[in-house]
């Protein structure tokens, strides 16, 4: 552990400022998101986290804007704006569909793939640092709990849990 982490753990200050458990659950993702943004902005080819994620998804097989919108839970307008910014920067290409010329087929360019690879390497350094003091069994337990929380939050967001509890 680093000195700062040891200090907080030793005197119980790790929970200082967190009045409720949910405060920590909200603070951690916000901090991680900010750090991801900082790391990606410091690359030779700066990216926002949304740009990084969009290029990554297109490179992994999401080739239509509707697929990207559904995956990211965004509007088509938001996805379209982001995609065309990436096309202008040369990170994605957009060509009319072969079967339906009204559709657009997206593809990551080599420049886009290189930018994502640089981002992935920088983010992996951060994650290695972050997790270096956490053993394998603790990681498995942590990620298991985080995955359950993710799906519970998704269920609530989709309205299923809210409807079950009589919400609107």
Q: What pLDDT sits at residue 85? A: 95
Q: What pLDDT sits at residue 20? A: 67
Between the alpha carbon of residue 103 and those of residues 63, 82, 109, the distances in Å are 10, 17, 19
Q: How far apart are CA 34 and CA 12, in angstroms?
A: 25
21 pLDDT higher than 90: no
- For the 33-133 domain, the top CATH level (class) is mainly alpha
3-state SS class at 73: coil
Q: What is the pLDDT of residues 72-91, one digit of tens each?
A: 888 999 999 999 999 999 99
Dig out the tokens for 22 from the structure. Answer: 């949910």
| Domain ranges, ordered by start, for the chain | 33-133, 134-168
Least confident among 20-34, 119-133, 138-152: 20-34
Q: What pLDDT sits at residue 136? A: 94
Q: What pLDDT sits at residue 1? A: 52
Q: How far apart are CA 83 and CA 95, in angstroms?
A: 12
Q: What is the pLDDT of residues 47-63, one digit of tens each?
A: 999 999 999 999 999 99
pLDDT (average), residues 127-140: 95
Q: How far apart are CA 15 and CA 54, in angstroms?
A: 35
């Amino acid at each position: 552990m680093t000195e700062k982490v040891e200090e907080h753990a030793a005197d119980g200050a790790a929970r200082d400022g967190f009045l409720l458990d949910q405060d920590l659950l909200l603070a951690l993702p916000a901090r991680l998101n900010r750090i991801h943004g900082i790391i990606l902005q410091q690359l030779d080819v700066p990216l926002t986290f949304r740009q990084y994620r969009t290029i990554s998804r297109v490179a992994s097989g999401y080739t239509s804007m509707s697929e990207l919108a559904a995956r990211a839970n965004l509007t088509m307008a938001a996805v379209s704006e982001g995609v065309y910014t990436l096309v202008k920067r040369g990170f994605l290409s957009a060509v009319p569909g072969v079967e339906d010329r009204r559709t657009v087929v997206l593809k990551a360019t080599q420049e886009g793939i290189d930018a994502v690879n640089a981002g992935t390497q920088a983010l992996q350094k951060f994650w290695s640092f972050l997790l270096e003091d956490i053993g394998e069994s603790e990681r498995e337990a942590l990620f298991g709990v985080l995955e359950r929380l993710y799906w519970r939050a998704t269920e609530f967001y989709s309205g299923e849990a809210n409807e079950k509890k009589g919400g609107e």
